[in-house]
Structure 1
Amino acid sequence: MNLKQVRRCVLYARLSVTKEESVSIARQLQSCRRYAEARSWEVVGEFVDDGVSATANRPEERLGWKSLLAARDFDAVIIWKVDRLARRVLDFLHADETLQRRGAGLVAVEDPIDMTSPQGRAFAVMLAVFGEMEAEAIRARVRAARAQILKDGRWPGGGIPYGYQSIPNPEGPGRVLAKDVERIGWLSTVVAKALRGETVNSVATWLTDSGAPLPVRRIERTSGSKSWNRQTIDGLLRNPVLAGMTPHNPGRAKSAKRADPFAVLRDEHGSPVVNEALAIITYEEFETLQRLLEARTVPQARKRSERQSTSALLSRVARCEECAVFLCRGTNQKRPILYCPRCRQTIGRAALDAYLIDRLLSERAEELVGGLEVMEAWARAGNDDKAQRAVLVSQLDTLVIRRGVVGRYFDEDRVLLAWSSSR
């Protein structure tokens, strides 16, 4: 890329977590605009990934960067610093290579990089190396701090298990877990029912009918809904805190969204560290409970004759972003859903199907499938969901569903869709 030939540019900004010392998205974009203005470049687009970690998400996995690559007619991408684009050297080089293939270059406001010369490219790679080293140093500090907190018996933060609450540590700094008087009785009854062999579906129904208080986070997400679901129950029953143990999963793979219930804090002899004040069952009972749960292939296992039929439109079409496996069809409270058989994330079908059909017919209407345009082929499919699926699949390259907040409203940002190349 020759900077003198640049006429049109786009801006890109990214931020993992907003902190006092962070350079905000707005400040990043402002600096990029000033850079473009000083060189008389026309800014034809601004793209943002807010709340996205560069360590956990490669550029091509981010919505903002993917939208940038889908844009047209720009000669350069302006970023604030190299680490706003990538924290890994390979990620940086791959992103730069993608831009080069389309004749665009990369410019960093705070890092004077020149990707047109071997020396400039080497310097850019060095900056990416330092960014990767900084990210690893941050991870190491976080791991060490968490390990010390757990060793001290304090609560490290995160989602508080149902039936418990976080209170100030009476013996020093930080916070510790304690039983929640309002909910611990409900939790004990849920565990007792599960140990007797009752299904998670029946337990969820009983909790809903009995008016049991929901988990605090679920109250916030469901905007007043008082219904329990099987995923919530399954998660409660797999939490090792039931036996007074502390979950501890150092180095757990990103795809392993459901934690190993026996990955817990252990002493120097390898035995689980147990806080009797938190336990409501013994370790042996916890083992029995896990065997019962694993004996069911899915939390809502039912006889085939009793299962509610759902549309085949997305059968073996959508994949889970975290686990890279096809999502399965199912129902939740009699509403059709897709769910991941591994990490158990779900997404409602009603809004998802309508969203996909709308995009198919608006963005691919004139593409050909079997000698017909998509619009005509779809009309001929009528209400035959298998025929509709064939039309959709003919146009799809990938359909990935990312984990999100499950609630009343459809979030299209969870849907990562890429059409196949035009025929």
Structure 2
Amino acid sequence: MLYARLSVTKEESVSIARQLQSCRRYAEARGWTVVGEFIDNGVSATANRPEDRAGWAALLAATDFDAVIIWKVDRLARRVLDFLHADEALQERGAGLVAVEDPIDMTSPQGRAFAVMLAVFGEMEAEAIRARVRAARIQLLKDGRWAGGGTPYGYLPTANPTGPGWVLVKDPDRHPWLAEAVSRALNGTTVNAITTWLTTEGAPLPKGSVARRKSGATTWNRQTVNGILRNPVLAGMTPHNPGRAKSGKRVDPFAVFRDENSEPVVNDDLAIISIKEFAVLQKLLDARNTPQSRKRSERKPTSPFLSRVARCNDCDVFLCRGTNQQRPTLYCPSCRQTLSRSAFDPYLIHRLLTERGTEPLGTSTVEAHWIAAGSSDTARREILLTQLHSLRIRRGIVGRYFDANRVLLEWRQPETPAAGAQL
């Protein structure tokens, strides 16, 4: 087996194609037969453990291989524990790990010891890179310059008139819309109502957004407006939370750059409202942060099929039902990870009928009860619960479509009947 990974394509990066080419040559030199090639492109080893990557998970699901060839140790992992866990997973399958550019061979004790040392150095290098990036960002913020990233709505980056780098200024086209949206929110107007107003009036979308047209008007969505109203730049503050992991919990709107006295650093030239008004605005938004707090006419009904069924693997809480751009989703109320139900529900139903359809249930079978339930999601849920032991959803790679590897599913043992099930 061959495995290659690349997080970001840069001029100095070794491409996926070059990594695989080197691995093939190594296998040919040793007289090995390559039975499969797996890649993770655009995936950070620092932010994603090997078992959470689609390519590595697919490799582990394969059979009949004796070794995995990688280009370098850091292509597999940037943390020692991640490397050891990945190697342990291979050992359980009776396979070894070999790196082309690093003089290691996990099939020997000496090679294993040296590989651990290389993993330690890889982790040190990754931490050193993070430290340099954090230091550079802090210095930019101290100098009052823009540190890059997504440009907040209503503002523009421009060349620093007093020195090197860039600074933010108000966007003359979008800033009036931003100021009016903030004013309406402070006066109690809901996010949905502001979204409708921006769409109806044809307010320009954030730069980089794909404009969607509906009846000739630019369409905004609630998530975009909510994010704009939670940006601390509204009070002249700069978001700064370098310790937050990618795809982690919701950003704290008060995680901002602060001075040596822990007071927020405020740029009055960018501020629309005061810090006190910003705090009031966040409380108003939090009060309407759940679907139940919205007007009934604004709610979209969702299927009860998975109500209090699936749990977040990280937070151990039930996933809630919701919608994202009018599509049904499950989301964790703690860490905010989401899972689209458009693909997940059919996947789960297919597994239920394929793997448990012939199991006895009452005087009939699971499949027979399922057919009898028809389109009733409540009845279908009861059938699912009779067979389900555990259903947990783990965090996936940000930006990817449905990934079956996120689903941790365990069926009940046949001899263990579901307590209190009535069908």
Q: TM-score, normalised by structure 2?
A: 0.86
Identify if the C-alpha distance between structure 1 residues 247 and 76 changes in structure 2 by more than 3 Å, giving closer, same or farther: same
Q: Give runs of aligned pairs for residues 221-232 of structure 1, distance below 5 A.
A: 226-232=218-224
Q: Which consecutive unaligned segments of at least 5 residues does structure 2 have?
A: 414-423
Is the counterpart of residue 338 in structure 1 residue 338 in structure 2?
Answer: no
Task: Report the counterpart of residue 399 of structure 1 in structure 2.
Answer: 393
Offset from partner CA, 1:261-281 (integer Å, 9 cap, x none): 112112223222111111111
Amino acid at match of 1:89: V
Offset from partner CA, 1:5-44 (integer Å, 9 cap, x none): xxxxx11111111111111111111111111122222211
SS at match of 1:43: coil
Is the counterpart of residue 309 in structure 1 residue 318 in structure 2?
Answer: no
Is the counterpart of residue 132 in structure 1 residue 145 in structure 2?
Answer: no
Amino acid at match of 1:420: E
- 1:355: how far off? 4.7
Offset from partner CA, 1:228-250 (integer Å, 9 cap, x none): 22221211111110011111113
Distance 1:55 1:237 in 2: 31
Amino acid at match of 2:114: F
Do the aligned partners of 2:313 and 2:393 also contact (CA within 8 Å) in 1?
no
Is the counterpart of residue 412 in structure 1 residue 402 in structure 2?
Answer: yes
- 1:71: how far off? 0.7
Offset from partner CA, 1:313-346 (integer Å, 9 cap, x none): 2323455677665432124565433344345565
Distance 1:330 1:75 in 2: 45
Identify if the C-alpha distance between structure 1 residues 383 and 235 changes in structure 2 by more than 3 Å, giving closer, same or farther: same
Residues 154-163 or 292-301, more deviating: 292-301
Amino acid at match of 1:127: L
Task: Report the counterpart of residue 418 of structure 2 in structure 1.
Answer: none
Counterpart pick for 2:273 among 281, 284, 298: 281
Distance 1:168 1:321 in 2: 45
SS at match of 1:248: coil
Identity rate of aligned residues, in percent? 67
SS at match of 2:196: helix
Distance 1:344 1:207 in 2: 26
Is the counterpart of residue 49 in structure 1 residue 49 in structure 2?
Answer: no
- 1:415: how far off? 7.0
Task: Report the counterpart of residue 4 of structure 1 in structure 2.
Answer: none
Q: Give runs of aligned pairs for residues 16-415 of structure 1, distance below 5 A.
A: 16-219=7-210, 226-254=218-246, 256-298=248-290, 301-302=293-294, 307-318=299-310, 325-332=317-324, 335-342=327-334, 344=336, 346=338, 348-358=340-350, 364=355, 368=359, 370=361, 375-376=367-368, 378-390=370-382, 394=387, 397-400=391-394, 402=396, 404-405=398-399, 411-413=401-403
Distance 2:10 2:366 in 1: 48
SS at match of 1:217: coil
Amino acid at match of 1:245: M
- 1:413: how far off? 4.1
Offset from partner CA, 1:141-187 (integer Å, 9 cap, x none): 11111111111111111111111111222222222111111111111
Do the aligned partners of 1:155 and 1:175 also contact (CA within 8 Å) in 2?
yes
Do the aligned partners of 1:200 and 1:300 also contact (CA within 8 Å) in 2?
no
Q: Which consecutive unaligned segments of at least 5 residues does structure 1 have?
A: 1-9
Q: TM-score, normalised by structure 1?
A: 0.86
Distance 2:335 2:206 in 1: 20
- 1:397: how far off? 4.9
Distance 1:86 1:153 in 2: 36
Distance 2:213 2:24 in 1: 40
Identify if the C-alpha distance between structure 1 residues 13 and 306 changes in structure 2 by more than 3 Å, giving closer, same or farther: closer
SS at match of 1:338: strand
SS at match of 1:77: strand
Distance 1:26 1:126 in 2: 27
Identify if the C-alpha distance between structure 1 residues 216 and 356 changes in structure 2 by more than 3 Å, giving closer, same or farther: farther
Task: Report the counterpart of residue 3 of structure 1 in structure 2.
Answer: none
Amino acid at match of 1:412: F
Do the aligned partners of 1:369 and 1:391 also contact (CA within 8 Å) in 2?
no
SS at match of 1:291: helix
Amino acid at match of 2:393: L
SS at match of 2:104: coil
- RMSD of aligned residue pairs (Cα, Å): 3.0
Distance 2:365 2:24 in 1: 43
Identify if the C-alpha distance between structure 1 residues 140 and 299 changes in structure 2 by more than 3 Å, giving closer, same or farther: farther
Identify if the C-alpha distance between structure 1 residues 209 and 415 changes in structure 2 by more than 3 Å, giving closer, same or farther: farther
Q: Number of paired residues?
A: 408
Do the aligned partners of 1:200 and 1:299 also contact (CA within 8 Å) in 2?
no
Identify if the C-alpha distance between structure 1 residues 415 and 356 changes in structure 2 by more than 3 Å, giving closer, same or farther: farther
Do the aligned partners of 1:255 and 1:322 also contact (CA within 8 Å) in 2?
no
